[in-house]
Each structure stands twice: as structure tokens, then as C-alpha cells.
Amino acid sequence: MMINIECYLVVSTIMMFAGIYGFFTRHNMLAMLISVELMLNATDINFAVFNRFLFPAMKEGYFFSLFSIAISAAETAIAIAIMINIYRNVRSIQTKDIEDMKW
Amino acid sequence: MGATFETIVFGVLAMFIIVMSVLTVTTGRIVRSATYLLFVLLGTAGLYFLLGYTFLGSVQIMVYAGGVVVLYVFSILLTSGAGDKAQKARRSRLFAGLVTSVAGAALVLFITMTHHFVPATGNEIPVETGINNIGRMMIGSGKYEYILPFEAVSIFLLACIVGALLIARKR
Amino acid sequence: MEYTIFILILPFLSFLFLGLAGKWMSHRAAGLVGTLTLGAVAAMSYLTAFLYFTAPRLADGTFATLIPVNFEWLPFTSTLSIDMGVLLDPISVMMLIVISTVSLMVHIYSFGYMKGERGFQRYYSFLSLFSMSMLGLVLATNIFQMYVYWELVGVSSYLLIGFFYTRPAAIAASKKAFIVTRFADLGFLIGILVYSYYGGTFSFHPDSSMLMAGGAAMMPLALGLMFIGGAGKSAMFPLHIWLPDAMEGPTPVSALIHAATMVVAGVYLVARMFPLFIVYAPGVLHIVAYVGAFTAFFAASIACVQSDIKRVLAFSTISQIGFMMVALGVCTSLDPNLGGLGYMASMFHLFTHAMFKSLLFLCAGCIIEQVHSNEMSAMGGLRKYMPVTHIAFLIACLAISGIPPFSGFFSKDEILTASFNFSPIMGWVMAIIAGMTAFYMFRIYFGIFWGTENKELHEKLHPHENPLTMTIPLVILAGITCVAGFIPFGQFISSNGQAYHIDIELSTALTSIIIGVVSIALAIFMYMRPTQPVADSLARKFKELYTAAYHRFYVDEVYQFITHRIIFGCISTPIAWIDRHIIDGLLNFSAWSAYATSDSIRSLQSGRVQQYAFVFLLGALALILLLIL
């Protein structure tokens, strides 16, 4: 049995929607961030897979994934810095506690 | 035979990743969540290896599994107090999220399955791309070479370093 | 004659200077600035008149129409533009003399009359503004410039009537004057628009090709509307109601604005458009005549019973302006020998009337200054105390009554001749009104200077002659009144511009003299003695008529009824209700519904990222569904 492109896409789709589910339901901001990481990772997989199966001669998706990894790392760093800052100020990173920010 | 081996490896990896993903978002403890995330990322790296993108896979392991997850764990430890254990979400909200996610996943899967992909010919053998080659492509300025994003990401990372320091520093 | 532009600029500068810097000036300095400016203007006017009327006539025997200054102000199209400039022709030069003379006299007179009043500088700056606007009105090169200055004149009149702004009556009077004339000016403005649309120009000579192409048919409408504006300014019935109330202003102002200059602007307007009236709208000209005649009679009958001397003079003014209108209206031709005599007569009467009526007002001012009242009951027997005023007043009364050799005789005689030429009925009506004029003028003359003396008041106030600043203008104006009749007016102004020799028709002259003398004799018989049994019994006998006339035939009450009951009550109140309840209600409802809607959906803006993302995902899924279906 061949491993075709759909198999990979199924995996990434499930990963993606797991992330979405987590993003909706978690109350901890770090957990939400982890969900975001899941989603990002799913897209990375997709890029790599598309590149590999549909356009193997070129490296577009490959490099896109590469840069995406770099950028998501940076995003994580910033997000965590913000959270630590929030935690310092309100002593919590639960979403309900920082709803005051909207006012 | 190779194909069969690959199939087995892929099946194991896929199951692993799916289970870990779901666990990541359903587990109650945040530390466990981070740990499951680590497994997911490692599994993803495995997928990359399977695709033949070994460099991408190693970057995935180094940056994600090695860097980001460590960062998560540290920050969890830094911020975890009483809120370590996630509060129980309201049932209706959980349900809504679940239904929507499942519906969305079903929709996307439906599209994926019904869409007719046109695979490029001769893709059976994974073509290994040398790191040397990748490095040249990274700093070249021709077609399919990526000096501009490379530099942009460099500056972006620098900005992130500065920004993160600025935000997180104690006053 | 480019210097004529300074006739307009100088008073304007004086207005600005006194208005802005007057606060820091002494009364004397402010008065001097205003008076000297006006003196310079008067000197320039006389020079202009001299140069203009001594210049050689054109080949057809008319004086050249000069436009020494003109510039384009607002160009609308390549052919239609509003210009500003100075136009010199016989009537505008004549008006220059009238305005600058009376204005100068009033400026000098006000030194004494307004002495020590609060706002003395303001008074002089307003006088300068008025002089500038009035001169600009008569010197206008086109109908629109005239309209601009026309409104400026209205504003200055408003300001000066309401000069004593602490008196409610003065404020009400100024508002009344402004609103009534403004209302009439609406007609003027529409008339100008019609005129310029169908005549293709704002100038006094419409484009003949436009008139050929159907414009001529619209000229009666345009000119009739313009006459409404003129009727408002000149206080023709039924728009006369503002003028008697305008007497609330300082008396010199009444002399200048409400007797000599501004109120004759309507006459001037009709005279200005006279060639068009004659050619295109003779019917409208007849309306002018009938309105003028009725107003003259109406005002004269009211003047016979009023006891406030300024009111009498105000109604007399209305009546005399009616004479001028009649004189213009009875014209049937441009040739003064063939029915165009009235034009000259009207302008002549305008000239002489300006002099003797301002003289009357200034005399009235002298008297009021001494007895502190406008009512005749406070006067009587004043001839002993104020001889100069007495003589001046008498001269003016004789002039207005049409007794030779005073100026009024000559001009009124021409008007009567013109009226008799038009129709005998009109002639007799005007002759009778002239008799009424003589009667009511001598009624107040005797009431002021003879009759029963109010000894009580006079012992307290010690009336005496006023200072020289007030009596000198009286003497000058009296002198002019004595000699103005001998000016060969027809040589300068006539309906076709050619020299016209006035010859006094013996029968008409005798008729008017006899009527005048009889009326004066009647007045002597009724009012000269200390008690007035005849007048009282007449007043008792015709009680209703007397009361009605005393209340000015209730025209003000009719206006009050129309405005308050009909317009306010039947139209404004329902509209106000609709505005308050329906229009406001709609607005309130829309505001309330916007508020309610946003209040109900504001929970969507929860600030929770997860909720936003959830909605976003739902939207994205919906889109995907749409795309694949």
C-alpha cells in the first residue's frame, strides 16, 4: 500500500483541529499558546507534504516550513515574554482574569 | 518491501501524532500538555524524515523540541501557581468547541478526500537534499533562492530578542 | 471724475475708524471726524454736480451718463456679471446733493442734539455707515449693486432706530422696520432675478436681443416685484407700518433717514427704472400711481388726528412720498411735453421735500429737546421761547402746504399738473390731499407754537432756544427751502434728459394755492385759539372715524392678527407640533433604536479572543461550505 498525500493531510488536519479545539476551550493562556503551536505545526507539515508530493523538483514549501519554524519560535518567545509580564502584574494567566484589558 | 516498511512507520507515526495532539488539548494539566506537545513535535519531525527532508526534521527537533518546548516548560514553571490545574470549562462551551472542531475537521477531510491531487511523477524515491545545497539556496539571490526571507527572518529574530527582553524585564 | 469713488470710501473709512477707535475718543473728536468727513463728501458732491451740470450737453440735448469707476465684482457668465462702480447721471447727481446736504446738516445738528448721550461715537459711526450706503445706492451702476447698498441702508436704519437700545419700544421699532422692509426686499430680489434672467444683465439697460426673444413679456413682472421692494422702503400702503414706529430713533436720524433720504429710495428706484416702466410696463406704472395716491390720502387722514408730533411728521412723510409715487405713476410718455412731466415733478418734489421735511424734523428735535416729550399736550405757545425754531418751522409748513414762493409750491404744483394731465379725478384727489397736508401741518404748527400753553411744564423746564450747532442747520435748511423752488429744475432733470422749461400753469397753481390757503384758514379757525371747540365737537361727532384714524385705521392690529393668529396660530403652531413630536420623535426614535440595538449586541464585543476566534472559524467554515456547494 502506497502512502499517498491524503494520508499525511489527514494527520495534519486532525492536528490542526485539535489545536483549534484547544484554542477554544482552554482557559490558561499558555495552553492556548500550545494549541497555536499545534496549528502552526500542522501547516508546516502541509507545506512540506505538498512540496514533497506535488512539486518535488523545487524547494518552495520546504523553505517555507523552515522559515515558519523560525518565526514560530520567535512568536513563542514574544508571547511568553508577554505572559510573564502579565503574570507579574495580575498574578495569573487565566483568560478570565485578564479580560479587564478590554476596558 | 521498503514501501511496506514505510507504510508501517507512517501508520505508527500518524497514530502517535493524532493521539498526542488530542491529548495535548484535552489533558487537564498544563505540564502534561507541554509534554504531549513535545511528542507531537517529535512525531512531526519523524514525518519529515519519512518524507526525506532530514534537515527540516532536524531543525524541527532542534528548534521546536529543543528550544520552544523548553521555553514552555520554563514559563509554565514560572507562572504556575494556583492556576496549575486547568479550571473546568463550562460544559456548553466545551461542547460547542468540540462540535465545531469536529464539523470543521470533517469538512476539511471531506475536501481533502474528494479533491483530486495530481502528484508529480517519479516521487517514489525520496530525494535527499544536501545541507550544502540548502545553505547555498538560503543565501543565493537567484530564482528559488532565499536571501531576502533569510535576511528578513534574521532581522525579525533580532527584533524578537530585543522585544522579548524589553517586555519581560523586571522594572 | 474718478475722485467720485472717494464719496463712497471716505464715509466708509470714517465708519470703520469711529466704530473701531471711537471708544477711546472724546465725543467732540468723534463728532468732528464724522462731520469733517461728511463735509468733504458734501464738497465733492457739490463739485461733481457743478462739473456735471456745466459740462456741455450731448448732441441730443441730454447730459452724458458717466461711469467714472467700474470694476467687475462677481462674474457669473461671460455676459452676466455683477459690477461695482459709480454712475453719474442727472438723478444720481441730484441725489448726491440731497443726501450730502441733509447728512451734513444732521451731522452738525447732532452735535447739539446728542450731546452727552451714551454711545455718541457709535452714533456718528452709524451715521457714516448710513451716508456711505445711501450714496452707494444712488451711485449704483447696476441693479444688483443698488440692491447691496439697499440692504446696507436697511441695516443702518435698523441700527439707528434701535440706537437707544435700552428702550424696549426702540428695539421693537427697529425690528419691525427691519422685518417689514426685509419682507418687501424679498420682492425686490426676486424682481432682480427675473429681470436679470430675462433681460440678460444687471445693468439698467437690458439686452435688447434678450427682450426681443420674449424677455419683454416678463418685464412687467420684474418691475412690479421691484416696486414691492421700493414700496417697502418708501413705506407705501400696506407696508407703511414700520415708518411711524421708526420715530423711536433719535430725531436727527428721523430727519436724515426717515424723511429725506432712505424712504425716498423707493421713489428713486422707480425713477431709475423709469424708461423700462414706460416702455414695457405702463400698467405697473399705473399701479404705482394708485398705490401712491391711496397711501397719500390714507397717511394724510391719519396725520390729521395724531397728537405725537413726530408721528404726524412721519405720516406726512408717507403722504408726501405717495405724492412722488403718483407723479411717477401718472407718466405716460418719455417726453415731458407729452405726459412725462411727472418724472421731473417727482424728482423735484423729492428734492424740495428732503429739504423742508428734514427741516421740520430738526425743528421737532429742537422742540422735543426742550420739552422732553413728543406729545402736543406738552407744547403750545412755544413761539415766545424759541423764535428761530418757530420761524424755521413756519417756513417749512408753508413750503409743504404749497404756498408760494416756498419750494414746496413749485414741486407740488408740477405734480398736480401732471396728475390733472393724467386724469381730472387723479388731479382733484391729489389737490384735496394737498389741502389735507396744509391742514394737518398747520394743526401741529398751532398746536406747538400757539394754542394752550402747558404752563406747569414750561415753568419747570424753562424752554429756550437751542445752541448754535442746532439752530444753524435750521437756518441753512430754511434758506434752501425758501429759494429751492426757483431752481430751474427741468433744465437738469427730465424724463427724456432734455432740457424742459417749467412754466407754471395758472389754473392749477391758483387751485392749489386756494386749496392750501383755505386749509390753512381752516386750521387757524380750529386750532389757533387756546380752546378748540370746533375740533372737539367734530371729533365727538365723527367719533368712530376719529378713533379709527387715531389708531391708524388698525392696520397694525390687522398685521398683528395676521401674523399672530393666522400665521403663528394656524400654520406655525401645527408645524411646531409636527417638528417637536414627529420630526424630533423620528430622530429620538432612531437614536433610541441605535442605542437599543447596540446595547443588545454589545455583548458580542466581549473582548475574549477565544470567542472571536470561534466566530471567525464559524465564518470560515460557512465560506468553505458555500464554496464547495
CB contact under 8 A, A95 and C610: yes
Residues with Cβ within 8 Å of residue A88, at least 6 apart in sequence: B170
CB contact under 8 A, A15 and B120: no
Query: CB A38 to CB B24 under 8 A?
Result: yes
pLDDT band at B124 (very low <50, low <70, confident <90, very high): low
Least confident range of A29-43, C170-184, C503-517:
C503-517
Residues B23 and B78 in one domain: yes
Residues B57 and B1 in one domain: yes
Neighbours of chain B (3+ CB pairs under 8 A): A, C
Confidence at residue C594, expressed as pLDDT on a 0 to 100 scale? 93
Confidence at C113, pLDDT banded by 50, 70, 90? confident
- C612 to chain A, any CB pair closer than 8 A? The answer is no
The C-alpha atoms of residue B147 and residue C109 are separated, in whole angstroms, by: 96
Average pLDDT, chain B: 84
Q: Which residues contact B87 (CB under 8 A, 6 or more apart)?
A: A27, A94
Q: Which amino acid is at C5?
A: I
In chain A, the residue whose alpha carbon lies closest to the alpha carbon of C605 is: A102
Q: Report yes or no on B93 lying in a domain.
A: no
Say which amino acid occupies C226. M
Residue ending a domain, among B86, B121, B154, is B86
B92 falls within a domain? no
**What pLDDT, in 10s, does the model give residues C30-89?**
888 889 999 999 999 999 988 888 888 887 778 888 888 888 888 887 777 888 888 888
pLDDT band at C333 (very low <50, low <70, confident <90, very high): confident
Distances (CA, A) of C601 to C6, C417, C609: 70, 87, 17
Closest approach of chain A CAs to the CA of C594, in angstroms?
22
Structural domain boundaries enclosing B140: 132-171
Are residues C614 and B103, on separate chains, in Cβ contact within 8 Å?
no
Instruction: Quote the distance between the C-alpha of residue C24 and its chain's center.
Output: 33
Per the domain annotation, does B96 fall within a domain?
no
C614·B100 Cβ contact <8 A: yes
Q: Per residue in C539-555, pLDDT tens?
A: 777 777 777 777 777 77
Same structural domain for residues B77 and B140?
no
> Rounded CA gap, C525 and C377, in Å?
19
Give the distance from residue B25's alpha carbon to the nearest chain C alpha carbon, in angstroms: 14
Highest mean pLDDT among A89-98, C342-351, C486-495: C342-351
Q: What is the pLDDT of residue C42?
A: 92
The residues, ordered by sequence, that sit 6+ positions from C35 with a Cβ below 8 Å of its Cβ are C104, C107, C108, C111, C124
* Residue/partner pairs of B131-137 with CB below 8 Å, 24 or more apart: B131/B55, B134/A59, B134/B55, B137/A59, B137/A63
B62 is a domain residue: yes
pLDDT digits 0-9 by tens, C411-426: 888 888 888 888 888 8
Cβ A10–B14 below 8 Å, yes or no?
Answer: yes
Quote the pLDDT of residue A2: 65
pTM score: 0.68
CATH of the domain at B57: 1.20.120.1200
Which residues in C lie closer than 8 A to residue A32 (C-beta atoms)? 609-610
Mean pLDDT score, C224-228 = 89
pLDDT at residue B1 in the model: 47
Are residue B69 and residue B15 in the same domain, yes or no? yes
pLDDT of residue B128: 66
Of B59, B86, B118, the CB nearest to A28: B86
Same domain for B73 and B139: no
- Number of domains, chain B: 2
Percent above pLDDT 90 for chain B: 25
Q: Given pLDDT bands bounded at 50, 70 and 90, which one contains residue A21?
A: very high
The mean pLDDT of chain C is: 85
Q: How far apart are CA C377 and CA C599, in angstroms?
A: 75
Statement: residue C460 has pLDDT above 60 = yes
| Higher per-residue confidence, B156 vs C307 | B156
Residue B15 belongs to a domain: yes
Residue C573 DSSP label? H
Kindly tell me if the per-residue pLDDT of C590 is higher than 90.
yes
CA neighbor of C412 nearest in space, from C501, C361, C485: C485
Task: Identify whether B82 is part of a domain.
Answer: yes
Q: Which of B86, B104, B123 lies at the terminal end of a domain, its last residue? A: B86
- Which of A2, A28, A91 is best to mutate for the B interface (most B CBs within 10 A)? A28
In this predicted structure, the answer to whether residue A50 has a pLDDT above a threshold of 70 is yes
Q: Residue B88: pLDDT band by 50, 70, 90 thresholds?
A: low
Helices and strands in chain C, H and E counts: 28, 2
Q: Which of B86, B117, B146 is the last residue of a domain?
A: B86
pLDDT at C43: 92
Closest residue of chain C to B106, computed from CA coordinates: C621
Q: Is C561 on the interface with B (CB under 8 A)?
A: no
Residue C608 sits at the chain A interface (C-beta within 8 Å): yes
Q: B109 in a domain, yes or no?
A: no
Within-domain flag for B100? no
What residue ranges define each of the domains in chain A, with the CATH number in brackets?
A: 5-92 (1.10.287.3510)
Cβ neighbors of A60 (< 8 A, separation 6 or more) are A51, B144
Same domain, B11 and B80: yes
Interface pTM (ipTM) of the complex? 0.90
Give residue C619's pLDDT.
92
